[in-house]
Amino acid sequence: MQFAHTTMKLHDDSLSASPLAAREAALVAALDARPAATVAERLQRAKRAHTTRRVALENGVALLSEAAPRAGDLVLARVEALGQHDKLQDPSGRRVHLFVGDEIVVAYGNRYAPSQFEAFVPGDLGACHLAAGGGIAARVVAANSRMDEPTALTPLGLIADARGERLNLACAALPPRELPALRPPVFAVLGASMDSGKTTAAAALIRGLSRLGLRVGAAKVTGTGASGDPYLFRDSGAHEVLDFVDAGCATTYLAPHEQIEAISATLIAHLGEVGSEVIVVEVADGLLQRETRALLESGFSHRAFDGVLFAAADALGAAQGVSWLRTRGHNVLAATGLMTASPLARREAEEICEAAVRGVEQLESPLVAAELRARVR
């Protein structure tokens, strides 16, 4: 045993003294001796999130390490552990692979997603999470049981300009607008819940209206910043697509009702200014979600939305949602959503629903689009 021990020791010493180990040690020492990168250089090298796309990141020259974050603030953070979101949507929408140790630029925001996470902007720059792949930094407090652990982040500082002012999405937002008195017709696509088929239905309606020869503008007025839905709307034929990030918000969860109205008015007005002949708006989540319910129970929604399509996953949800909306005075044009993928569920909905039931293939039809267009002002 003594001989074996001596042999192993000699083997270890020979490894540590090898030319390869020496060169590696020298390389590490040389890398450690390099001058520290400036904040501007680190920001240039960092992986940047889609939510931050409108902000002029070249103005970032400092990191604030003591300030309390606010919704919309840009933060430089380090990835500590990979979890549910192991990719980050970049400004172009490409899903960029993340690695432990990466520095990333994301925006603080609250998140409401029953099928994923609930998360809040923390009151300090302590450890937090990547709460959404579009680039939301927040502290996760609840998760759907199907989710993995959230990707862990260490905030390195809020990004600030040469005057020490933090960079926030609101600084790069579209100019605010009032809801125009004269505007194109606006269709609103609503749903019973997250993942009820709203985005698919909105995209199908955009396709049908564009096939009718109309210039379609599209907007997502509430939700969590991400690239997927806006690109689907554009691919479906929309000539211009905007979302709440363009109005200065990374997410809209817990935003004041007045801000939700202002976002909606601004996006609708800007879509009208670029020549849209008809506008399709998606409102995220379900009717009972805090911001969605307040919006749909307000007088503003009646002035802003000329016709409503309601998406649900089943016939009962469709019937109840249509009734809920009509009780509040909305012009419900059709029920749609995931339930139309099943002939049985669709037949059930047709039997009990107060509105016509329209599947994706019907909404894509210019004939159905013409019918819906004729039922709004």
| Together in a domain, 222 and 323 | yes
CA distances from 118 to 148, 226, 253 (A): 14, 16, 10
| Together in a domain, 363 and 223 | yes
| Together in a domain, 154 and 204 | no
- Which pLDDT score is estimated for 33? 67
- Which pLDDT score is estimated for 28? 72
Question: Which residues, other chains included, contact 346 with Cβ-Cβ below 8 Å and sequence gap of 6+?
Answer: 315, 339, 340, 357, 359
| Together in a domain, 344 and 216 | yes
| Backbone conformation region of residue 337, classed left if phi is above 0, alpha if psi is from -120 to 50, else beta | left
Mutual angle of helices 343-352 and 315-327, in 10-degree steps: 30
| Together in a domain, 224 and 94 | no
Which domain-ending residue is among 145, 170, 195?
170
What's the total number of domains in the chain?
2
- Which pLDDT score is estimated for 109? 98
Asked if 359 and 320 count as a contact pair (C-beta separation under 8 A), the reply is: no
| Together in a domain, 198 and 147 | no
| Together in a domain, 286 and 164 | no
Residue 139 is part of which domain span? 39-170
- Which pLDDT score is estimated for 17? 54
Q: What pTM was estimated for this model as a whole? A: 0.90
* CATH number, domain containing residue 304: 3.40.50.300
Q: Which two tokens stand for residue 337?
A: 């959503």
pLDDT lower than 70: segments of the chain: 1-17, 30-34
Rounded CA gap, 96 and 87, in Å?
5
Size (the chain), residues? 377
| Together in a domain, 67 and 199 | no
Rounded CA gap, 209 and 238, in Å?
9
